[in-house]
Amino acid sequence: MSEFRHVYRTELTPVSFLERSASVFPDKTAVIHGARRYTYRQLQERVNRLANGLRAAGLAKQDRVAFICPNIPAMLEAHYGVPGAGGVLVAINTRLNADEIGYILQHSGARFLFVDAELEAVVKPLDLSGLRVIRVDDTGAPGDPYEDFLAQASPAPVPSWLEDEEEMLSINYTSGTTGRPKGVMYAHRGAWINAVAEVVETAMGFDTKYLWTLPMFHCNGWCFTWGVTAVAGTHICLRRVEPARVWELIDTEGVTHYNGAPTVHVGVVNDPRAHPLARPVTVTVAGAPPSPTLLARMRDLGFRPVHVYGLTETYGPHTVCGWHEEWDALPPEEQARLAARQGQGYALFDLVRVVDANMTDVPRDGQTLGEVIMRGNNAALGYFKQSDATAEAFRGGWFHSGDIAVWHPDGYIELRDRKKDIIISGGENISTIEVEQAVVKHPAVLECAVVAIPDEKWGERPKAFVTLKPGQRATAAEIIESCRQHIAHFKCPAAIEFGDLPKTSTGKVQKFVLREREWKGKEKRIN
């Protein structure tokens, strides 16, 4: 019976996508990085060398291999070479400080560390005596320690050590607002399914040219590291996100897809190089709810925005705001409002629920607030070495997101806030997202973030931190008056502060930084 089972079942692993594309399309361009080009045959050879090199250096099954690199070929190769060798990839946020990186290396028990030359100084203060450290100069030429590591290893295929598709593939450390980060464990199975799901939802195909604006260290690039390869698409690497460079690559390399948080798209559509596209470019938006204003601007330029939502614990995106053709007949503002919702689960995932404290579904009235919970093929294995945290987050057989949403009559969900971001003013709940969307309707506003500030009369009031578009001017009074045209007066910001917003490397605004600044000296963060 066991022999027959092997006929109808192959253990799922996203590493298999490279084997297939290199076999069927060996001469197709797999990777573009500046002047460098790698075919699928060359990419597979480099990945094989990385895997063989790790094994020759003593890698044992499930050993952790850390990478601290921007979106360069080495980082992409790690997503195949490390799990292909039998190891577990730990892709580390490139904007963390030495203490944070040191904690991740220690907590994960990493045995190998590959670090980009530009980031080497960050790890120099650390005790790395227990690790094999390889610098990545990102030259693609001999003399580069990473290239030399590959050159001394065999290009032959690596026999797989994978026995069960539910074995751990990677650990992604969350950037929590308080305390140490938690290591979210991904399985080969979940990564394979999520990669295929991204192909389905973003309509990638053989002609896909995917631009790496989203960090590969972030949820393993939402599994696009594997999804693009699954369709034999082309990965276009990018060391840093610069809107002008994005436009240059769109025009010269024929970019068809890129992903990012709203702040990335805000920068692109407002860049001086912005122009109507000769052909549609599919852009996946996540990380924060996009404003209707941003979605409308993207459509005007010819971008095809796909609004998705998820968390590290769901391999990145879990829901998509699938477009309904009947929306085409609606006014643009109404279209954008509908498209700004988070939608429902991907075709390959389970539908999400919005529940009360007893895990009972809230009414689908678009008004009752509840917590978003999810489960299914793309739920993570849990937190590495943190069983208590795993039990709490996955209680009742569902992953508890901590995100607050309403459930609409059409089944779509719409985020209202994180639990800690709800502003309670005079007994009324105010959604910071709703206020933010009102603020960015002002034509001079580039982006903004809203947090609660203490108020003697009302307990709490919203304050907006605003970044203006280059060359634009606006006063606080003008922006507040603009908000009053769109939302109730009590929801409008009590104060406006102008300047740059603190952000994570993935483009998310760090509201907790703003909140801590406003509540400094207070015993509690509620009033």
Instruction: Give the pLDDT score at 175.
Output: 57
User: How many CB atoms lie under 10 A from the CB of residue 268?
Assistant: 26
Instruction: Provide CB contacts within 8 A for 239, sequence distance 6+.
Output: 70, 71, 72, 138
**Ranges of the chain with pLDDT below 70:** 1-5, 175-179, 287-289, 419-420, 426-427, 429, 523-527
Task: Give the full edge-to-edge strand order of the sheet including 459-468.
Answer: 445-455, 459-468, 495-498
Nearest CA-CA partner of 53 in 31, 28, 78, 34: 78
- Torsion angles phi and psi, residue 205, rounded to 5: -155, -165
CATH number of 425-527: 3.30.300.30
Q: Which amino acid is at 264?
A: V
In the chain the first and final C-alpha atoms are separated, in Å, by 65
Nearest CA-CA partner of 40 in 218, 220, 206: 206
Instruction: Give the pLDDT score at 367.
Output: 92
The token pair at 193 is 């399914």
Side-chain-facing half-sphere of 135: CA atoms under 13 Å:
14
Nearest CA-CA partner of 42 in 199, 55, 33, 115: 33
User: How many CB atoms lie under 10 A from the CB of residue 30?
Assistant: 27
Instruction: Give the pLDDT score at 420.
Output: 66
3-state secondary structure 13-61: CCHHHHHHHHHHCCCCEEEEECCEEEEHHHHHHHHHHHHHHHHHCCCCC
The token pair at 510 is 């760090």
Tell me the pLDDT tens digit for each residue of 3-23. Answer: 666 788 999 999 999 999 999
Task: Say if residues 114 and 92 touch (Cβ distance below 8 Å).
Answer: no
Task: Say if residues 66 and 60 touch (Cβ distance below 8 Å).
Answer: no
Instruction: Give the pLDDT score at 99.
Output: 84
Instruction: Give the pLDDT score at 304.
Output: 94
Same fold, 11-187 and 425-527: no
- Torsion angles phi and psi, residue 304, rounded to 5: -110, 95
Q: Return the domain boundaries, the chain.
A: 11-187, 425-527
Instruction: Give the pLDDT score at 117.
Output: 98
Instruction: Give the pLDDT score at 291.
Output: 76
Tell me the pLDDT tens digit for each residue of 281-295. Answer: 999 998 666 777 888
Instruction: Give the pLDDT score at 1.
Output: 46
Instruction: Give the pLDDT score at 306.
Output: 93
Architecture of the structural domain at 11-187: 3-Layer(aba) Sandwich (3.40)
